[in-house]
Amino acid sequence: MSTKCMYRVSAKALIKKKQKRLLLAEEKGGGGFELPGGGIELGETPQTALMRELKEELNLIPNYIAESPTFIWFINGEVVWLVYEVKVIQNAKVNTQEHIASAGYFDIEELLGKKSHGLGYCCTMHFEKLQKYLD
């Protein structure tokens, strides 16, 4: 018997700012704040996908994307997140686009405790890993 294994693979960005803050975005429709990024399209590298997604979602152009992911997260047996360290120009302005409700640099511990507009499910699952990354 043959079993098919299918995952949606996404590239996500770890963009850190001083004082242990990460750039997080919330899609319209809620769900909380998650790492910016999105699906890797056929023929794209994860780095190319991040360049495209960050431009589309937040009008940001990275000046550094790591060669290898810092984390690989499996979400509910359906999605794989390849999470890369990314750097942008220090004072780059984040401008939300189309399907992004809001974005900014947040202390993820503060967001974890908020009932609405808090930390999203995927980042909540990996909260301890994000905390260690920020330390």
The DSSP output letter for 104 is E
The string of pLDDT tens digits covering residues 30-75 is: 788 999 999 999 999 999 999 999 999 999 999 999 999 999 999 8
pLDDT at 133 over 80: yes
The string of pLDDT tens digits covering residues 110-130 is: 888 877 778 998 999 999 999
Q: Which CATH number does the domain housing residue 23 bear?
A: 3.90.79.10
**Number of structural domains the chain divides into:** 1
pLDDT confidence band for 4 (50 / 70 / 90): low
116 within a domain of the structure (yes/no): yes
Segment 15-37 shows an average pLDDT of 89
Bridge-partner residues for 87, per DSSP? 64
2 within a domain of the structure (yes/no): no
3 within a domain of the structure (yes/no): no
Task: Give the pLDDT of residue 27.
Answer: 87
Distance CA 83, CA 132 (A): 14
| Cα 73 versus chain centre, distance | 11
pLDDT at 2 over 60: no
The string of pLDDT tens digits covering residues 98-107 is: 788 889 999 9
Structural domain containing residue 97: 8-134
Q: What global pTM score does this model have?
A: 0.88
pLDDT at 16 over 90: yes
Distance CA 129, CA 135 (A): 10
